[in-house]
Homo-oligomer: A and B are copies of this chain.
Amino acid sequence: MQCKQLSAELAVEMNHLENLGEVANYIPELGRVDPDKFGLQLITLDPQRFSLGDAEERFSIQSISKVLALTLAFQLEGDKLFERVGVEPSGTAFNSLVLLEYEHGIPRNPLINAGALVVCDLLLTRLPDPQQTMLDLIAELVGTSAVGVNAMVAQSEQQTGFTNAAVVNLLKAYGNIHNRIEQVLELYYAFCALEMNCQELAQAFLYLANNGINPLNGKIILSASKAKRVNAIMQLCGFYDEAGEFAFKVGLPGKSGVGGGIIAVHPENYSVAVWSPRLNSKGNSYRGMKILEFLTTRTQSSIF
């Protein structure tokens, strides 16, 4: 991969892209972000790296955190995790209670809200301080301990998060939540309110391109087999009901968040983080999707 030329081409493309869609504004803290922010960071295993735009500005990573929570749970539980949450795409909008009801409280996968709530419940059972364990994991992956939780965002989301409260209560009714509902929601929203920038995100997810090994220190985060499985889950479930579209057009495992961030991974090759706050109708970053499509088309680096 010729990073120098690629970075120039991406910079041109980023200037030309229309900026459509709406910024998430269900809490004031998210709605206040500048909608024209646009950052990108790519890191290869070679290693090469380049930043574009607002790659050093932190934003709310929101659902991208679900992959890191899944990583912690997979470390602790192995395949037993999948007795309480599936690995199938949901085929419906991200917060649907319908499937949950028909499937008796087993969420479709760990990257929809219902599944992430079960993952949080499991971390609460297994860890004395799961929020600190998450921060430690990120610090190790990024190489600094600068990343933190925006408590105001977490609180705001919890206060207005009635659909998630509905979901976790329904899960509890089916016996798939073991801790107190308030604790589960609190941890869930703390993870959503993690703030990272594109540089940190791309670095943090590089282990998924590197067979589960943290390239900074050679430590095993997940076994190669488990890392592949996390990538498979991202590919099939990482973009709500636009997972097929993302596979079709971009062709990389990835995960989006309503803060406008997207992380994507090319196994044994690179990770890339983008950030642009305006979302398309499916809740994924409008320009983020476009620039990643341009990237993999230009570099022919779709995994397919």
Q: Is A75 an interface residue (CB 8 A)?
A: no
Name the CB-closest residue of B to A96.
B101
Cβ proximity bits A226-249 to B, threshold 8 Å, 1 near / 0 not = 011101110111000111110111
Q: Which of A247-291 contact B (CB under 8 A)?
A: 247-249, 251, 253, 267
User: A108-B91, A224-B300, A300-B224 are contacts. A229–B248 as well, Cβ < 8 Å?
Assistant: yes
Cβ proximity bits A56-90 to B, threshold 8 Å, 1 near / 0 not = 00000000000000000000000000000011111
Residues in B whose Cβ lies below 8 Å from that of A251: 228, 232
Number of copies: 4
Q: Is A51 an interface residue (CB 8 A)?
A: no
Count contacts on A: residues with CB < 8 A to the other chain. 52
- Decide if the interface of chain A is mainly helix, strand, loop or mixed: helix
User: A251-B232, A304-B232, A304-B253 are contacts. A244–B87 as well, Cβ < 8 Å?
Assistant: yes
User: A101-B96, A170-B166, A247-B232 are contacts. A241–B304 as well, Cβ < 8 Å?
Assistant: no
The 8 Å CB contact of A235, one of B88, B163, B235, is B235
Cβ proximity bits A150-187 to B, threshold 8 Å, 1 near / 0 not = 00000000000011011101101100000001000000
User: A87-B248, A91-B89, A91-B91 are contacts. A231–B304 as well, Cβ < 8 Å?
Assistant: yes
Residues in B whose Cβ lies below 8 Å from that of A169: 162-163, 165-166, 169
Q: Is A92 an interface residue (CB 8 A)?
A: yes
Residues in B whose Cβ lies below 8 Å from that of A165: 165-166, 169, 181
Task: For the complex formed, measure the closest distance between the CB of A229 and the CB atoms of chain B, giving whole angstroms.
Answer: 5
Q: Is A97 an interface residue (CB 8 A)?
A: yes
Residues in B whose Cβ lies below 8 Å from that of A243: 88-89, 236
Using A88-B91, A91-B108, A97-B101 as known contacts, list a sample of 7 further A-B pairs with CB atoms less than 8 Å apart, ordered by residue number in A. A87-B247, A89-B244, A96-B101, A97-B97, A162-B173, A165-B169, A303-B304
